Each structure stands twice: as C-alpha cells, then as structure tokens.
C-alpha cells in the first residue's frame, strides 16, 4: 500500500493546510513530495519555499512559474507546462491540490487530461469572487474530494460528483491550531521584532475581480485602523492582481503603529493569532482559524462572502466607518466560544484512514455526472 503522493503548494496559506496531511501520509509510510511553486519562490513574499524545506523526510521539487507582474493566464500556462513535464518524468499515484489558486487549477488540468488520480482539498466552498470559479473547476476535474463540512459536501454533490468520492475531513490547518505550538508569545514577538504587547493581526489580499479598486479599499481600511488608535501586525498580501496598489498603501504606514512582516512560519503565526486582540482583513483565516480559536475577526469586503456564519465575525466594507468603529468598541479583545463549523482539528488522521483503504485506489477514472434529483 506504499504510494507515491505529491502535494502541490503555491502559497504560505495552502501550505499551512496541506502540511498536516503530508506529514501524516509520510508517517503512515507513503513516499511524499512537495511540488513548490508560486509565491513560495518570490523574495517579495518572504521566499517561503524555505518554510516548506523544513519538513523532513519528504521530496522537494521547486518550479518558478512567474515573475512579478505576470497575468493570471500566463501563470496558468507556465504552471501547466512545468507540472506536466514533472509528472511525465516522475509518475505519482496521487496528486493533492488545495482550494482555488491558479497553480491548483493548472495542476488539476494536467492530472485530468492525463488520467492521473488527484484529490482536491476544501472544494464546495463559496466566496463570491473568481476564486470560487476556480475552486468549482477543480471540483469538476478532481477524482476525490476532501471537504471541510457537510455543507461543502452538499455543494460538491450539486455539481454532480458521486457521493462515494467525497470525504468530510474538516479544514486541515485546524490540526495545527488545535494543539500547543511549542512556543510562547514573547519568543514570537522577539523573533519578528514586534514592539507591541497588545495588537491586532491584519491580512488584506487583492480580490482579482476588483483589482482596479484595491488601492482605494486598502486606503479606506488602513485609514480606519489608524483612527482606532490600536497597534497592528500587518502581514503582506498575496500576489494576485491588485497587490501592487495594496503594497503602495502599506509602504506609507507608520512603523510606530503598524509592524509589517512579509510572511511568518506557520507555528509562529498560530501563536501570534492566539494572543491577538482581533484579526482584520479578508483572509480565510478570519473565517476559519480565528473563529476556531475564539478570536474576534473583522471581515472586509467580498473575498469571504457567505463562507462562515460564526458569531465572532463582523462583516464590513473597507469604507464602512461606523461598523469598523463599532467593531473596535464591542469586539476588540473579546473571546468567543470555539467555532467548529470547519472541523475539530483531526483532519490528518482521517485523511490517512481514507487513503489507506484499498477501495480508495479503485475509483473509476472515467467521470460521470450524477443527477441526484433524478436518482431520488
């Protein structure tokens, strides 16, 4: 049953989700590798391939799929070429991709057109942007679906995927957030030279369908944060279209109130978040990790629309001064009951249980659309 499994990672965010699964598969005796590409290879975003390389006992394949300013379609085509060459020279039993990034879509297309088994992590989610379109495309291409909730499973079924191919695991990154990090907060603050004892964490990414307005949204958001009088740790955005305009705003922030960090090691980020007064921005961390940890989050804009209904989340537009000011008065520093809508932190164990079943590897590679309405 020893299988060759390659996990595709293009960002620090998806790595935090697939790392627990990869380690569990490695420890179960499988031959595990990471195909490292995307933002991981770019110095401006923290050269986070270094973080991936810290995982022991796995193979590492690095592929540069872009230079600063490349459009999404060019990144897609470069990644297709690179991953196709890789799989041709290095056949694998299973490819694992996550979510909605352009790298995941490229690798999904390569697998589907070459009849290579692949699993899609966290399909069936909604977010209201083009990311959702990419995510649903990956669902239709995938052999297997490892989803985060029963609701996500239902959406994957609505897309015509057979129930036998869908496994409800929860969100993998909660495995890491659900156990002690082995760090203390002072170690984290010292390592990243963060001068604040009380702070909020800010993660504000571009929305590709709103690229033309991202600079204005960032200005509105950080003007509101500045008026709050609070201190913030600001982690750099991802590299989607619109990021240049966000960076231009970040470069004008006062270092006395805003500590900027390109990227963080996952365990360090987890410890930082556990001790934060709030998480602010439009990252999925605000609708998954923060609610799981009981941390208040201020969800800005459309990027995570309808993704979670946790009580710890306050939604607002970047220029909604009244709601943002109200959040700082009512929710800053408040602790909420842990929300387990996306799992309880046991995803990796369940993942290995599934892939260790012989029947898992017997799934028909010829996909058919399942019309549930006609079958009931």
Longest dimension (CA), the chain: 62
Tens of pLDDT, residue by residue over 137-188, are: 999 999 999 999 999 999 999 999 999 999 999 999 999 999 999 999 999 9
- The CA-atom distances, in angstroms, between 134 and each of 39, 126, 168, 170 are 18, 11, 20, 20
pLDDT score recorded for residue 1: 83
Of the chain, the percentage scoring pLDDT greater than 70 comes to 99
pLDDT score recorded for residue 354: 98
pLDDT score recorded for residue 375: 56
Residue with tokens 């790392």: 19
Global pTM reads: 0.89
Looking at 2-6, 37-41, 341-345, 349-353, which range is the least confident one?
341-345
Tens of pLDDT, residue by residue over 48-100, are: 999 999 999 999 999 999 999 899 999 999 999 999 999 999 999 999 999 99
Residue 274 host element (H or E): helix 266-274
Count CA atoms within 13 Å of residue 283 on its CB side: 24
pLDDT score recorded for residue 130: 81
pLDDT score recorded for residue 374: 66
Three-state SS for 157-207 is HHCCCCHHHEEECCCCHHHHHCCCCCCCHHHHHHHCCCCCCCCEEEECCCC
* Burial group, residue 322, by CB count within 10 angstroms (0-12, 13-18, 19+): exposed
pLDDT score recorded for residue 376: 53
Question: What domains can be seen in the chain, in order of their start residue?
Answer: 4-177+345-375 (3.40.50.2000), 185-330 (3.40.50.2000)
Residue with tokens 């984290």: 188
Looking at 122-131, 211-220, 243-252, 286-295, which range is the least confident one?
122-131
In which region does residue 242 sit, left (phi positive, over 0), alpha (psi from -120 to 50) or beta (all else)? left
């Amino acid at each position: 049953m020893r299988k060759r499994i390659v996990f595709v990672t293009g960002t620090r965010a998806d790595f935090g989700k697939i790392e627990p699964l990869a380690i569990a598969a490695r420890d179960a005796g499988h031959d595990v590798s990471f195909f490292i590409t995307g933002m991981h290879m770019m110095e401006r975003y923290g050269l986070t391939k270094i973080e991936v390389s810290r995982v022991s006992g796995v193979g590492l394949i690095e592929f540069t799929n872009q230079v600063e300013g490349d459009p999404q379609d060019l990144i897609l085509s470069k990644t297709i070429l690179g991953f196709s060459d890789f799989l041709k020279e290095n056949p694998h039993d299973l490819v694992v991709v996550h979510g909605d990034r352009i790298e995941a879509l490229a690798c999904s297309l390569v697998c589907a057109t070459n009849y290579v088994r692949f699993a899609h992590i966290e399909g069936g989610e909604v977010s209201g942007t083009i990311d959702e379109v990419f995510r649903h495309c990956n669902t239709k291409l995938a052999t297997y679906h490892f989803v985060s909730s029963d609701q996500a499973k239902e959406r994957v079924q609505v897309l015509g995927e057979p129930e036998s191919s869908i496994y409800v695991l929860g969100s993998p990154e909660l495995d890491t957030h659900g156990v002690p990090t082995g760090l203390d907060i002072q170690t984290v603050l010292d390592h990243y030279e963060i001068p604040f004892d009380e702070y909020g964490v800010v993660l504000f990414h571009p929305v590709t369908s709103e690229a033309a307005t991202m600079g204005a949204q960032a200005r509105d958001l950080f003007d509101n944060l500045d008026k709050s009088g609070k201190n913030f740790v600001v982690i750099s955005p991802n590299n989607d279209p619109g990021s240049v305009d966000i960076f231009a705003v970040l470069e004008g922030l006062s270092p006395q109130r805003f500590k900027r960090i390109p990227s963080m090691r996952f365990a360090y980020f987890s410890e930082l978040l556990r001790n934060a007064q709030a998480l602010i921005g439009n990252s999925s961390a605000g609708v998954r990790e923060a609610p799981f940890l009981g941390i208040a989050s201020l969800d800005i804009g459309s990027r995570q629309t309808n993704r979670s209904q946790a009580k710890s989340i306050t939604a607002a537009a970047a220029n909604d001064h009244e709601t943002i000011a109200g959040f700082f008065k009512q929710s800053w520093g408040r602790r909420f009951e842990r929300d387990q809508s996306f799992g309880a932190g046991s995803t990796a164990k369940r993942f290995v249980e599934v892939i260790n079943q012989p029947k898992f590897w017997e799934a028909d590679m010829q996909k058919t659309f399942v019309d549930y309405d006609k079958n009931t």
